[in-house]
Amino acid sequence: MYAGLGIVILLVMVFGGFAITGGALGPVMEAIPHEMLIILGAAAGALVTGNNLHGIKSFFGGFGKVIKGPKHSKQDHIDAIILSTKLMKLLRAEGPVALESHVTEPQNSALFAEFPRLLANKPLTALICDTLTLIVVSSGTLEVHAVEEVMDNAMKTHFREMHEPQHALSSLADALPALGIVAAVLGVVKTMGSIDKPPAVLGGMIGSALVGTFMGVLLAYGIVSPMAGRLKQVIEADEQIFHAVKQVVIASLHGWPQPLVVESARSGLGHDFRPGLSELLDALRGR
């Protein structure tokens, strides 16, 4: 919502300010479609050249993330901490055998069934189940630092994939001013081919060419670069739930008391998603 509002404010202030100061919007609007055809066409070609099919799909999916915001709600973070805590409590109380069926077949697990949104989150479910499966098959003999390293590697790989559309957007923002210059140069070339025209006509043609540079810079620094920054914020917010799950698992393996385990996971969440400690403990008891 805020992304759309920001773009509206940007366009109104830029073009409105130009009109208020006496600028003629007609020639600009007339030139924009042609200049944008060159700029966006070149940008699309560069995007296809620099990415595979998965990268292109992720790129366009990134726009949806900018509009929708973070994927996980505050309740999702509470549920993730509760689910992880219950699984680790089961491991400690009844041993690896009791945990095995839950982590090898989460779709049939009564514990996972309590949290359908988490179960539908394939990367998060995989992080929980794969890590705990390792503990189960090793009969709980793995060293804690080894488990933590495995989780860190899995999260690092997933986060790198999550950030691909943000990097693509940033690269596009860097390229747009130069692509605007390309459009402007082509406009100048066209103008030089009409050098015998009257000054009024040449002035209009040069002005149209300069619109290419203007649009390239405006798109880069006014729209695409801020969207890349916002996308980074959204992705980093979506990463927090993974860190919370990891903290529960590692703190539990260290043998910390349950309230301290919960607090270690809760305190690492951002303010938008962090529940109160009493709220989280009450939710845990209620489950």
Q: For residue range 135-148, list pLDDT tens digits in order.
A: 898 876 789 999 99
**pLDDT tier at 39, thresholds 50, 70, 90:** very high
**pLDDT tier at 117, thresholds 50, 70, 90:** very high
Q: Are 60 and 168 in contact (CB under 8 A)?
A: no
pLDDT for position 201: 75
- Is residue 241 pLDDT above 70, yes or no? yes
**pLDDT tier at 83, thresholds 50, 70, 90:** very high
Round the average pLDDT of the chain to a whole number and report it.
91
- Is residue 1 pLDDT above 70, yes or no? no
Number of domains in the chain: 1
Structure tokens at 81: 């901490």
pLDDT for position 187: 87
Asked if residue 158 belongs to a domain, the reply is yes
Each residue of 14-30: b (16+ CB within 10 Å) or e?
eeeeeeeeeeeeeebee
pLDDT for position 140: 63
Could you give the percent of the chain with pLDDT greater than 70?
99
Asked if residue 9 belongs to a domain, the reply is no
pLDDT, tens only, 153-197: 999 999 999 999 999 999 999 999 999 999 999 988 888 887 777
Asked if residue 50 belongs to a domain, the reply is yes
Per the structure, the complete domain to which residue 60 belongs is given by 30-287
pLDDT for position 151: 95
Tokens 């999702």, residue located? 76
Measured in degrees and rounded to the nearest 5, phi and psi for residue 42 equal -65, -40
Q: Is 122 exposed, middle or buried (0-12, 13-18, 19+ CB in 10 A)?
A: exposed
**Cα Dmax for the chain:** 91
For the residues 121-149, what does the mean pLDDT come to? Answer: 90
Asked if residue 16 belongs to a domain, the reply is no
Asked if residue 10 belongs to a domain, the reply is no
Asked if residue 173 belongs to a domain, the reply is yes
- Is residue 20 pLDDT above 90, yes or no? yes
pLDDT for position 204: 78
- Is residue 287 pLDDT above 60, yes or no? no
Tokens 């069926």, residue located? 101
Amino acid at 182: V
pLDDT for position 77: 95
**pLDDT tier at 244, thresholds 50, 70, 90:** very high
d(C-alpha 27, C-alpha 211), whole Å: 9
Asked if residue 83 belongs to a domain, the reply is yes
- Is residue 99 pLDDT above 80, yes or no? yes
For the residues 70-91, what does the mean pLDDT come to? Answer: 94
Asked if residue 20 belongs to a domain, the reply is no
Helix (H) or strand (E) holding 198: none
